[in-house]
Structure 1
Amino acid sequence: MPNARKLPGYLTNRFRGWRATHYAENKSWFRHLAQEGQHPRSMLIACCDSRVHVTSIFGADPGEFFIHRNIANLVPPYTPDGQQHGTSAAVEYAVTALKVAHLIVVGHSNCGGVRGCHDMCAGKAPELSAESSFVGTWMEILRPGYEATGAIADEAERIAAMEKEAVKISLANLMTFPFVREAVESETLTLHGLWHNIGEGGLDAYDSDIDAFVPVG
């Protein structure tokens, strides 16, 4: 591949530091993971946003979480159309092969993807409405969240509400997958929705009984 270049120096130095410290101090654990395979208890579906460090939030070690990240932490509805579906494939593998016990959708504050969806739906981002836009096509999953927050006049408040709608829509869409629904109904899998406030370090969990997000801890 002629376009592949040498790794930047700062990343090479960081790798060497990691190998000399964290890996060296936990070499037996890493070898155990390599030999025994992965057995995560939970799957996390989080946003690609570089500010959302889901393993750090939960103080997780390698092997604890099966993680899938995409724009705005969205899960599409079950659509077995023979096309390529990265998020759906990850969910299928986690539930049917890894047998995770918990499936957790993690949304967050100041989400650029959610803002993009808002602007697209409001007619402010015609580039996202183009058929050639992968981002715009993906964010159509959240259009019902834009419509559900129509009564909120303040734009910032509406976008913040849409961030939580993204979590709720993803949870609802997860239940359209037959293998997810079967696992939930047989009580071998539980679904959870979270929203992380980046600036404040907060974490809210969705309570379906009251249809609201409440602080964790």
Structure 2
Amino acid sequence: MTLLPERLLTGYRNFMAQRYANETMRYKQLADQGQTPETLVIACCDSRSAPEIIFDTAPGEIFVVRNVANLVPPYAPDGEYHSTSAALEFAVQSLKVKNIVVLGHGRCGGIKAALDGDSEPLSPGDFIGKWMSLVAPAADAVSANELMTPFERQTALERISIRYSLRNLRTFPCIDILEKKGRLTLHGAWFDISTGELWIMNPETGDFLRPDPEEVGAPAALE
């Protein structure tokens, strides 16, 4: 009987022999004292864009929420099931994070599905289609631009969706209040899987800037 795929078992053995062995005390402290991450990252489910790897973080350093296309729905206290909203509530109200980062990425399958309006649902429930309808108006507007190439449309909507999620974050009363008090900061970023480049959204203009690799704190080039 196979309990787990062999690749995962091998990875776990490597984890125990290397990372856990080197950070045993940190893990024990996290177990005893709980987690106190200062940053919440809202990222895509895509296996190629893991925030913990991109930002080279230690255990317990960032709180991560992942869903299709890193979307944040509007605040909707309607009694239904809202996994992303629940994670937001916990991160902001309980963990009291100081930063929220919406991390998008290139070649996002969810964004591609939103742009391909004629694609057939993957199942009768069409859960992806329903979820991506959150950005349907923007997808329609981008698709209507005949002067853009398919790649340009994809990148444009990937970045627009980040701005959309940031706007929806501010519909949550607790986030809006804390941001206005200066106790919470919202950020947008876009990761290029092919080149490894990280583009950071200027909060004042909405433009995405690429930091100088040698001076990460100083955005150097406009898109």
**TM-score, normalised via structure 1 length:** 0.91
Is residue 76 of structure 2 the alignment partner of residue 79 of structure 1?
A: yes
Give the AA of the match of 2:109. G
What SS is found at the alignment partner of 2:125?
coil
Deviation at residue 12 of structure 1 after TM alignment: 1.3
For 2:184, the equivalent position in structure 1 comes to 189
Deviation at residue 25 of structure 1 after TM alignment: 1.9
Q: Partners of 1:54 and 1:33 in 2: how far apart? A: 19
What SS is found at the alignment partner of 2:116?
helix
Is residue 201 of structure 2 the alignment partner of residue 212 of structure 1?
A: no
What SS is found at the alignment partner of 1:44?
strand
Asked whether the equivalents of residues 203 and 215 of structure 1 are also in contact (C-alpha less than 8 Å), the reply is yes
Q: Which runs of 5+ in 2 are unaligned?
A: 213-223
Q: Partners of 2:124 and 2:168 in 1: how far apart? A: 23
Deviations 1:139-163 (A, max 9, x none): 0111132134233532221111000
Deviation at residue 216 of structure 1 after TM alignment: 2.2
Deviation at residue 8 of structure 1 after TM alignment: 1.7
Query: Residues 149-160 of structure 1 correspond to what in structure 2 (within 5 A)?
Result: 149=142, 150-151=144-145, 153=147, 154-160=149-155
Give the AA of the match of 2:202. D
- Alpha-carbon distance change, 183 to 5 in structure 1, aligned in 2, over 3 angstroms: farther
- Alpha-carbon distance change, 171 to 68 in structure 1, aligned in 2, over 3 angstroms: same
Select the residue among 136, 139, 152 that pairs with 1:143: 136
Deviation at residue 5 of structure 1 after TM alignment: 5.7
Q: Partners of 1:107 and 1:12 in 2: how far apart? A: 30
Asked whether the equivalents of residues 145 and 169 of structure 1 are also in contact (C-alpha less than 8 Å), the reply is no
Asked whether the equivalents of residues 115 and 140 of structure 2 are also in contact (C-alpha less than 8 Å), the reply is no
For 1:46, the equivalent position in structure 2 comes to 43
Deviation at residue 18 of structure 1 after TM alignment: 1.2
Q: Partners of 1:51 and 1:145 in 2: how far apart? A: 25
What SS is found at the alignment partner of 1:216?
strand
Asked whether the equivalents of residues 117 and 139 of structure 1 are also in contact (C-alpha less than 8 Å), the reply is yes
For 2:221, the equivalent position in structure 1 comes to none
Asked whether the equivalents of residues 152 and 158 of structure 1 are also in contact (C-alpha less than 8 Å), the reply is no
For 2:27, the equivalent position in structure 1 comes to 30
RMSD: 1.7
Q: Partners of 1:48 and 1:72 in 2: how far apart? A: 7
**TM-score, normalised via structure 2 length:** 0.89
The sequence identity of aligned pairs, in percent, is 40
Deviation at residue 10 of structure 1 after TM alignment: 2.4
Is residue 15 of structure 2 the alignment partner of residue 21 of structure 1?
A: no
